[in-house]
Chain A
Amino acid sequence: MSELSSQKIPVTVLTGYLGAGKTTLLNRILSENHGKKYAVIVNEFGEIGIDNDLIIGADEEVFEMNNGCICCTVRGDLVRIMDGLMKRKGKFDAIIVETTGLADPAPVAQTFFVDEDVQRNARLDAVVTVADAKWLSDRLKDAPEAKNQIAFADVIVLNKTDLVSKPELAEVEARIRGINPYAKLHRTERCKVALADVLERGAFDLDRILEIEPEFLDAGDDHHHHHHDHDHHHNDHSHSRGGLKHYHDEDMQSLSLRSDKPLDPTKFMPWLQNLVATEGQKILRSKGVLSFTDDDDRYVFQGVHMMLEGDHQRKWKEGEPRESRVVFIGRELPEETIREGFESCITA
């Protein structure tokens, strides 16, 4: 499937709380001289200062799927718009979906997991969240939407950094990292970020889960120490387990697990499936690279809420440590249950 994925049209989801600077970033993407043409799905016509016949107004209609899974929602309007856009294949190189400031990114992402026709033609590239350096800390306290958008992000554009002091910036970054230590974070003024840092990220490409995200590898250690003044596993350098990162009373956390002993696939896969089936509403994103017993292939997976996709990726390289790493980002994650479940999948 991964050979095919390169021919599919990449879709970038642009989120961010009201006033953070989404439109500024969008205008930058559209006006910069990059030789590419973007189809843009927006909520409000007229905010975009660029003349482009491929700007489409959306209605943000969130539809539940009839499969008994309550967090399995898709953007109905997006299914329809993608259908229409595919008639103009070849007229644009990529698609950007802007969500409203109050939107949950999950239904957008899930549309690309659930809908067969959408999946055939397009692939989710990354969720990019624009955050306001001055107001994000406040919004994280009073707006669950803002927290969702940070937790869901593959790339965070921390904007308006010129409006805050250095300690304020450190504070807001620590809060972001307390929720999501894995996203790429870029500090900007007026959304001045290299477009290569927000587009064509391949964040949902199973093959690139690790390659583009070195933070992922070091997440248990590196960011932890730089950004957090308290933790549960400060001296835990055994690499056998990661840490649950808290910033004060955040209810959104990330949980990373690792093992250098191989996992038993007959235990791990049912455990993972059961976990997302029962706790999927709390788990926003999940990712993992796995080493299974008697298997020379790396197995990779990723998920959004209850939806998982995974595949054997490639052979483990010679000398490459065969280590399994799993990350969950979510709300009120049952840490001990997850940790114990994971440990029980390690081949004795």
Chain B
Amino acid sequence: MSSEQLTIASLTDRVKSVAVGAPVSAVHFLGERGAFVCAEEKVAIADATGEISHVVVHGGAILCTASDGKRVVTGGDDGKLVALNAKGETSVLATDAKRRWIDSVALHPDGAFAWSAGKTAFVRSGKGEEKTFDAPSTVGGLAFAPKGLRVAVAHYNGVTLWFPNMAAKPEFLEWAGSHLAVTFSPDNKFLVTAMHEPALHGWRLADNRHMRMSGYPGRVRSMSWSAGGKGLATSGADSVIIWPFASKDGPMGKEPAMLAPLQARVSVVACHPKQDIMAAGYSDGTVLIVRLEDGAEILVRRNGSEPVSALAWNAKGTLLAFGTEDGDAGMLEF
């Protein structure tokens, strides 16, 4: 495998190392600066020159995180939901009354945000109004629909579509098994969950038709919509699996594209916000940039470490940031 890598184009010498100093579980961009969310307590904010500052956001583990580009919101095992802005200022958005773990968080472009603790999902609107919804079991994941104030709440045996501002009964999409991460397609036509078993499940929202996306050797922990929502790139296999969503039937009856195979598991994926390229991180520490059209690869980081656990592009698509489980991190400017 190493000889193969030597033959592909490499950008490894242009990566600026970022001294996060702790395991990284996610990365976001606040403008041009990378916000590296550590497994515990801190977020490290770094720019493309490698200049770095650490901000303490939680008293323990950081369990979930989301960003809208203006702020990073994290939930912790200290029962707090904390927002961090580009200036490095923090504010506590919510504190769980029973100090339960904050398991999931999602942000809406208009400033609303949702979080969950145990079976309860919370939404606070941009105006500060708070609503709650009790799921039938622990909430596995949350996502805002691209339009309107609608929240997908993933749980055991399905997903509930909750409309916090309407009296209407939440809509229940049933599928046996434990549903964790959940995401709407950018065109609002499909809903996809990553299940506890190694599979995705999807619904076409017009008619709730099911889509089963299985065959993964491992659990899918990372999903990313390609530019324009034409495909959904996923981790969990030894190549990047990309399900086609360009047609009205989505991936129904179609085979996924399988790109950038390595002798390691894909651990995290991030599609470029504008172009048909993506970044993929692997369990052996490799980071590749992959062209979706033909699978052409560029090496960003060599193998030989703990798994890559975080990847993100800035909104313009000019910067890529990554982080690993053993605390290595870097940024690459294009």
Contacts and interface: CB of A to CB of B under 8 A. Distances in A.
Contacts of A53: 59-60, 78
A117 interface: yes
Given A87-B39, A116-B219, A66 B138 contact: no
Interface in A68-83: 76-77, 79-81
A88 B40 contact: yes
A289 to B, nearest CB: 31
A116 B25 CA distance: 18
B32 interface: no
Contact of B137 (A57, A61, A64, A79): A61
Q: Main SS of chain B's interface residues?
A: loop
Contacts of A80: 103, 138, 140
A87 B103 CA distance: 13
B36 to A, nearest CB: 14
Interface string B56-98: 0001111100000000000001100000000000000000001
Interface residues of B, number: 30
Given A64-B176, A87-B25, A87-B40, A116 B218 contact: yes
B266 to A, nearest CB: 14
B196 A79 contact: yes
A120 to B, nearest CB: 10
Nearest to B62: A87
A53 B76 CA distance: 12
Contacts of B16: none
A66 B101 contact: no
Interface of B: 23, 25, 39-40, 59-63, 77-78, 98, 100-101, 103, 118-119, 137-138, 140, 156, 176-178, 195-197, 199, 218-219
B153 to A, nearest CB: 15
Which 8 pairs from chain A and chain B are nearest by CB?
A87-B39, A87-B61, A66-B177, A88-B61, A63-B178, A84-B63, A76-B178, A66-B197
Nearest to A116: B218
A67 B61 contact: no
B60 A76 contact: no
A56 B101 contact: yes
Contact of A63 (B23, B60, B156): B156
Contacts of B176: 64, 66
Interface of A: 45, 53, 56-57, 59, 61, 63-67, 76-77, 79-81, 84-85, 87-89, 91, 115-117
A229 to B, nearest CB: 48
Nearest to B61: A87
Interface of A is mostly: mixed
24 contacts: A53-B78, A56-B101, A57-B98, A61-B138, A61-B156, A63-B177, A65-B177, A65-B197, A66-B176, A76-B137, A76-B196, A80-B138, A81-B101, A84-B63, A84-B101, A84-B103, A85-B61, A87-B25, A87-B39, A87-B40, A87-B63, A88-B60, A88-B61, A116-B218
A283 to B, nearest CB: 24
Given A63-B196, A67-B197, A87-B40, A77 B60 contact: no
Contacts of A61: 137-138, 156
Given A84-B61, A87-B23, A87-B62, 4 more contacts: A53-B60, A57-B98, A66-B177, A87-B25
Nearest to B23: A87
A116 B101 CA distance: 23
A77 B218 contact: no
A331 B137 CA distance: 30
A45 B101 CA distance: 13
B219 A76 contact: no
A115 to B, nearest CB: 8
A88 B177 CA distance: 28
B157 to A, nearest CB: 9
A18 B63 CA distance: 32
Q: Which of B62, B140, B177, B195 has the most CB of A within 10 A?
A: B177
For A65, A84, A117, the residue with the greatest tally of chain B CB atoms inside 10 Å of its CB is: A84
A91 B118 CA distance: 23
A53 B219 CA distance: 29
A65 B100 CA distance: 26
Contacts of A76: 137-138, 156, 178, 196
B51 to A, nearest CB: 26
A56 B98 CA distance: 11
A85 B63 CA distance: 9
Contacts of B156: 61, 63, 76
Contacts of A45: 98
A57 B100 contact: yes
A77 B138 contact: yes
Interface-centre pick from A56, A67, A79 (highest chain B CB count, 10 A)? A79
Contacts of A116: 218-219
Nearest to A81: B101
Contacts of B59: 53
A59 B177 CA distance: 17
A76 B25 CA distance: 21
A65 B197 CA distance: 8
A47 to B, nearest CB: 15
A116 B176 CA distance: 20
A117 B219 contact: yes
B164 to A, nearest CB: 23
A87 B101 CA distance: 13
Contacts of A67: 197
Contacts of A115: 196
